[in-house]
Amino acid sequence: MNASDVAGPRRGEGIPLRTALVEASDRLREAGVPDPDVDAELLAAHVLDLSRGGVQAKVVLGAVIDAVDAAELAALVARRAAREPLQHVTGRAPFRSLELLVGPGVLVPRPETELVAQLAIDALRAVPEPEPVAVDLGTGSGAIALALATEVPHARVFGVELSPEALAWARRNVERVGAPGLELVEGDLADALPELDGAVSVVVSNPPYVPAAMVPADPEVHRFDPAVALYGGEDGLDVIRVLSRRAFVLARPGGVLVIEHAEHQSAPIADLLRADGWRAVAHHRDLTGRDRATTALR
């Protein structure tokens, strides 16, 4: 046996990319991954430093994936087959025009949260001031706060996060994206930013709202997302009750509150917001027609 026999896979050796993708998809499908073909292509794109469309083009052209990249792809597929979130495997999560860094200790941004960000962005853009103030309570990865800061660059944005692990991810993302108008603050949303009381034009939050007994079915969620970012007490509204009261103090007259929630929570959230003094409560549906956000005016 010589050194080449034990050195592992070498560049130049390989298999057709199409074959590697079929094998990856089959393994993911057997593991119950919801979109195995999509995930296989996205994992290959990550390994090859291409877009998903770039991978598809390479397949059409009959490209070969060399042995080193094929081995890396197989290792990532094994992690995904164990139901580790795709975003943890790649270390990246798309959110609107951003690509965020994510991993253990922080909630993976969801597509439905882009609606919440859009509602907050629209409200912030409508403020007739040179430097309106927005606060994202429970910023997690920084997704909403960064969307506000990059899409409404004349605003001052504050992202508040209690979890040190999540805040570390938010700081990485702020450094990566670059958002001079955004300030991250470690603290509890129950008493955050007292210096801004009565001065905030938009308060937005994707709080923990899953009822304690309603453990999400997806392994990617219940095994990997931090519990502190998911569960909101017996009815899922414990944090939202605190959020409503704190946001009411932070908001200026005419200020807007935007909250993400589960579709069945619209009515009780409307009741508690009105009881706290909010007016013009309105619900907003996601692309599947489900109520996923509520807005209100101070």
Residue-wise pLDDT tens digits, 101-157: 999 999 999 999 999 999 999 999 999 999 999 999 999 999 999 999 999 999 999
Nearest to 151 by CA among 184, 183, 122, 111: 122
pLDDT recorded at residue 8: 41
Give the pLDDT band of residue 10 (cuts 50, 70, 90).
Answer: low
Section 228-252 average pLDDT? 96
Give pLDDT, residue 4.
39
| 161-175, 190-204, 212-226: least confident range | 212-226
pTM comes to 0.90
Q: What is the pLDDT of residue 287?
A: 86
DSSP string, 125-182: HT--SSS-EEEEES-TTTHHHHHHHHHSTTSEEEEEE--HHHHHHHHHHHHHH--TTE
pLDDT digits (tens, 9 = 90+) for 133-143: 999 999 999 99
Answer whether residue 231 shows pLDDT above 70. yes
Nearest to 79 by CA among 215, 216, 217, 223: 223
pLDDT of residue 14: 83
